């Protein structure tokens, strides 16, 4: 076995590989770009090497830099993860030439499956069912159009290189073929540097079902059952599960047999996935599936296979690459329960799924769910920033249950318990998918999301009570009860009318002031220009329970920079709190006095009457909202009066008064 490996990737997959390697006692080397200098995978590895600037073309796609890092650190092998250089046969050749081991298939295997048209011709020879279509070399319009007519419309034009839906066009009638072909070619050329295409029969109700295969260098190939990846957006997977809903033993036997045959045809070694397109118009039939392509690497969704088999596929990769035989024979590979994975992204579904960069001020994932097991695969921590340079995935949430109904319930619970503040995410979209009737019954196909997009991407609304809870939290009056302290809930309460504690929100570029008063029996009054309400707030671990007129909300509050985030199940809302001291400072910068922006206690005084002070100099420290705030001089001047230390001051009471005469710059 290897003593040290380098992981040529970043994010959650790099962390995933590092965990298994460390469990096996293998040393790890991470590589990182300038943008990832403080990333989680860098912190987890035993050693880390900078390989260039943030753009991937200058870092994670620099094979020479990666190989040099491996040689420099004494790594014996390179694990590519997925994406980047993982399916680049030239990189594999370079790794081997450098005397290192590539943890994956051979360059020849990758080349054999790298181009869709050549791969399908190879599969036809191996007896693997292939979608009816044209996979030949001729690329003239007249030839392709003629083949499309022979196949029968609708047809699908597909770039022969690459993936991710790029260079792919559905054509419903012959009149649109030429325009669609030109568009597909231009996109394929731009994305992959290859504008050649193939033409296939379009399946009206397609399901995307793939089979995990594994081979070694001793001629052994096994399958680890199937995964259903039909829920897709723009040909990108959103939810994956295993086993496939509705699959029969006959269908599974046919698909897995074809997948093993495909891997054997190219002497495959390592982890790979055979992807099939399935016609589900009449359910899953063993004669209605066809080879689509092979991914010659570890898939993003491999954890669902691990959950139903109890195996570690990264460990298998390492053992096979080190020359060992497959750890288990086919008959010993278990299949237990049902697993499901969602991809949690920093993106805004209501705005066309635009990436949403930002800092993850608060990040919390569930560690357990009642309905089954939960597993989180992530490459970020609270405080990390979602960068514009890379894929905005935050995490993969994976659950396992006794059957599909338990797995569905477990995923719902896991999404409810996931807390993120600081950026917009697709969590509400994922939750809507989990709850959708068609998905719940297993009636899925690759077009489901597009058909229901409007229903699934309704912008989340702020729930009643969220704003009130944010105001109360910002006031500093809302305190969790302390065991044995009956006075905690009475903080700020006065029998003859309590002080009004001001909170100023910034909303749409405008500032709005609200006053909070404490009343008896855990009640609070909130008044402002747009509403006045009385609410009752109790601590219901780990949430607050706020009730009032038209309000009945359980939610958690967390402090974020310049604001408060309120988290209620699948809904999160952030409220920006204006700094009253900064506002007071700005407002009083030309005046002759400083006043208290809110009630508080003068903790210390650092100047005296008659002192000459400079702009920005700390004059006193005021405690308000259980925090200490430094009050500074808004301009140069001479102090005429200053409040006494330990004084309890009301809002707008005078703290400092300056003499009107300007500061004499000449002092003795």
| Among 426, 64, 130, residue whose Cα is nearest residue 262 | 130
CA distance 166 to 136: 20
Strand 236-242 with 197-201, pairing: unpaired
Using CA atoms, how far apart are residues 293 and 123, in angstroms rounded to an integer? 10
Q: Please say whether the dihedral angle defined by the alpha carbons of residues 26, 31, 36 and 37, taken in this order, is positive or negative.
A: positive
For every residue of 216-281, DSSP letters joined together read -TTS-EEEEEEEEEEEEETTEEEEEEES-TT--HHHHHHHHHHHHHHHHHTT--EEEEEEEEEE-B
Q: Rounded CA gap, 159 and 154, in Å?
A: 17
- φ/ψ region of 165 (left if φ > 0, alpha if ψ in -120 to 50, else beta) reads left
**Among candidates 214, 216, 272, 254, which has minimal Cα distance to 87?**
272
Neighbours of 336 (CB within 10 A): 11
Quote the tokens at residue 306: 């691990």
Residue 46 CB contacts under 8 Å (≥ 6 apart), including other chains: 4, 27, 28, 29
Nearby residues of 630 by Cβ (< 8 Å), 6 or more positions away: 618, 620, 621
657 is catalytic: no
CA angle at 520 for the pair 515 and 522, rounded to the nearest 5°: 80
Three-state secondary-structure class, residue 572: strand
214 vs 119: CA distance, rounded Å: 18
Catalytic residue among 10, 111, 233, 297: 297
Burial of 142 per CB tally in 10 Å (0-12, 13-18, 19+): exposed
Give the Cα separation of 212 and 207 in Å (integer): 16
Spatial distance between the Cα atoms of 103 and 92, rounded to a whole number of angstroms: 9
248-255 long-range contacts, CB within 8 A, separation 24+: 248/284, 248/286, 250/286, 251/284, 251/285, 251/286, 251/289, 252/225, 252/226, 253/286, 254/286, 254/287, 254/289, 255/209, 255/211, 255/226, 255/286, 255/289
Task: List active site positions.
Answer: 297
């Amino acid at each position: 076995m290897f003593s040290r490996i380098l992981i040529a990737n970043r994010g959650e997959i790099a962390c995933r590989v590092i965990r298994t390697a460390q469990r096996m006692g293998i040393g790890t080397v991470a590589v990182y770009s300038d943008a990832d200098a403080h990333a989680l995978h860098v912190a987890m590895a035993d050693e880390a090497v900078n390989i260039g600037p943030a753009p991937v073309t200058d870092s994670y796609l620099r094979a020479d830099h990666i190989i040099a890092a491996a040689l420099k650190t004494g790594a014996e092998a390179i694990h590519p993860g997925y994406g980047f250089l993982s399916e680049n046969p030239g990189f594999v050749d370079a790794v081997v030439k450098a005397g290192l081991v590539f943890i994956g298939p051979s360059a020849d295997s990758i080349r054999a499956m790298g181009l869709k048209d050549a791969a399908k011709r190879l599969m036809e020879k191996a007896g693997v069912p292939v979608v009816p279509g044209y996979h030949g070399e001729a690329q003239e319009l007249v030839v392709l159009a003629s083949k499309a007519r022979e196949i029968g419309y609708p047809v699908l034009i597909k770039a022969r290189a690459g993936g991710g839906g790029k260079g792919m066009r559905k054509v419903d009638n012959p009149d649109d073929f030429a325009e669609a072909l030109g568009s597909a070619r231009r996109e394929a050329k731009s994305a992959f540097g290859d504008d050649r295409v193939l033409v296939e029969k379009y399946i009206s109700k397609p399901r995307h079902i793939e089979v995990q295969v594994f081979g070694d260098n001793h001629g052994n190939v096994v399958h680890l059952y199937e995964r259903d990846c039909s829920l897709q957006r723009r040909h990108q997977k959103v939810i994956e599960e295993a086993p496939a809903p509705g699959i029969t033993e006959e269908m599974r036997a046919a698909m897995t047999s074809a997948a093993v045959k495909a891997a054997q045809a190219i002497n495959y070694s390592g982890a790979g996935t055979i992807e099939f397109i399935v016609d589900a118009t009449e359910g899953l039939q063993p004669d209605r599936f066809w080879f689509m392509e092979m991914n010659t690497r570890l898939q993003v969704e491999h954890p669902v296979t691990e959950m139903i088999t109890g195996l570690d596929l990264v460990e298998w990769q390492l053992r096979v690459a080190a020359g060992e035989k497959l750890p288990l024979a086919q008959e010993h590979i278990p299949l237990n329960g049902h697993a499901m994975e969602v991809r949690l992204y920093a993106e805004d579904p209501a705005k066309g799924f635009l990436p949403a960069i930002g800092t993850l001020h608060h990040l919390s994932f569930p560690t357990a769910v009642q309905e089954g097991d939960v597993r989180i695969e992530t490459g970020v921590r609270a405080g990390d920033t979602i960068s514009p340079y890379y894929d905005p995935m935050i995490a993969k949430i994976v659950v396992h249950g006794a059957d599909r109904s338990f797995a569905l319930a477990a995923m719902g619970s896991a999404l409810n318990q996931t807390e993120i503040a600081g950026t917009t995410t697709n969590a509400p979209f994922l939750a809507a998918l989990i709850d959708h009737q068609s998905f719940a019954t297993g009636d899925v196909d690759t077009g489901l999301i597009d058909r229901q997009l409007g229903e699934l991407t309704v912008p989340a609304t702020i729930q009643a009570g969220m704003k009130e809870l944010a105001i109360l939290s910002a006031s500093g009056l809302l305190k969790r009860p302390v065991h044995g302290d009956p006075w905690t809930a009475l903080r700020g309460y006065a029998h003859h009318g309590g002080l009004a504690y001001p909170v100023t929100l910034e909303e749409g570029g405008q500032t709005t002031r609200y006053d909070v008063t404490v009343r008896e029996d855990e009640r609070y009054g909130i008044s402002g220009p747009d509403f006045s309400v009385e609410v009752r707030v109790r601590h219901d671990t780990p949430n607050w329970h706020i009730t009032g007129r038209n309000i009945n909300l359980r939610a958690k509050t967390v402090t974020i920079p310049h604001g408060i985030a309120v988290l209620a199940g699948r809904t999160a809302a952030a409220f920006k709190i204006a700094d009253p001291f900064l506002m007071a400072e700005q407002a009083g910068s030309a005046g002759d006095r400083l006043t208290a922006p809110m009630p508080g206690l003068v903790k210390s005084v650092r100047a005296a009457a008659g002192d000459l002070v400079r702009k920005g100099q700390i004059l006193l420290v005021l405690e308000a909202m259980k925090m200490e705030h430094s009050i500074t001089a808004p301009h140069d001047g001479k102090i005429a009066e200053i409040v006494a230390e330990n004084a309890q001051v009301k809002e707008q009471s005078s703290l400092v008064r300056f003499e009107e005469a300007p500061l004499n710059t000449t002092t003795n």
